């Protein structure tokens, strides 16, 4: 059986592979760093001072925001996953950039939702588990800017690249305007 480019099976297979990589990377890095059940460890430098792995537990959304609304976040993520899956299923196979974008955003949302519901780190005072973050970037050594980017993970990267790709696709793939008819 040969899969057609852009087929739903290929699309959802790609989502499954990205989610599997996200979950695998979180588990391996947290194990390697010997993270506590709450998800914290000492930083492990990878590329000088600017890139390291450092496990942390994020009970909120992007950059730890909205952690005081755990039900809203988890229900919102679940609704986003369902909506994105529906969009991905119904989308045309061309143009490819929006499909690529939807695939990434869906995989990222699903990876973080899985953390919230089953595989994440303990988050005190919250009914759900926190999302496991581990990629740590400091901009000081590269650009002279004293700024630390909040820790993130593969799922967050998928969401970011997917969202930017979706925005780019909206500029590149505009539908052709219908010709104006002459009124008589």
Among all residues, which ones are annotated catalytic?
133, 156
For residues 35 and 122, give the distance between their C-alpha atoms in angstroms, rounded to a whole number. Answer: 11
Joined together, the tokens standing for residue 145 give 């800017």
DSSP state of 60: S
96-114 and 154-172 are packed helices; what angle lies between their axes, rounded to 10 degrees? 160
Cα torsion through 68, 74, 80, 85, rounded to 10: 160
103 within 8 A of 14, measured Cβ to Cβ:
yes
Residues contacting 142, CB < 8 A, separation 6+: 50
169 within 8 A of 78, measured Cβ to Cβ:
no
For residues 107 and 57, give the distance between their C-alpha atoms in angstroms, rounded to a whole number. Answer: 20
């Amino acid at each position: 059986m040969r899969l057609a480019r852009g087929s739903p099976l290929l699309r959802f297979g790609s989502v499954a592979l990205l989610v599997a990589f996200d979950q695998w990377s979180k588990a391996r890095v947290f194990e390697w760093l010997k993270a506590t059940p709450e998800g914290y460890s000492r930083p492990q430098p990878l590329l000088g001072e600017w890139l390291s792995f450092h496990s942390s537990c994020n009970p909120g959304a992007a950059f730890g925001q909205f952690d005081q609304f755990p039900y809203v976040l988890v229900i919102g993520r679940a609704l986003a996953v369902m909506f994105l899956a529906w969009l991905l299923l119904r989308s045309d196979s061309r143009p490819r950039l929006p499909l690529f974008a939807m695939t990434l955003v869906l995989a990222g949302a699903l990876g973080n939702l899985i953390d919230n519901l089953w595989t994440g780190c303990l988050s005190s005072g919250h009914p759900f588990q926190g999302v496991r973050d581990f990629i740590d970037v400091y901009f000081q050594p590269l650009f002279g800017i004293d700024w630390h980017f909040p820790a993130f993970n593969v799922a967050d990267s998928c969401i970011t690249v997917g969202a930017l790709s979706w925005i780019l696709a909206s500029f590149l793939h505009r539908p052709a305007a219908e010709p104006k008819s002459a009124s008589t």
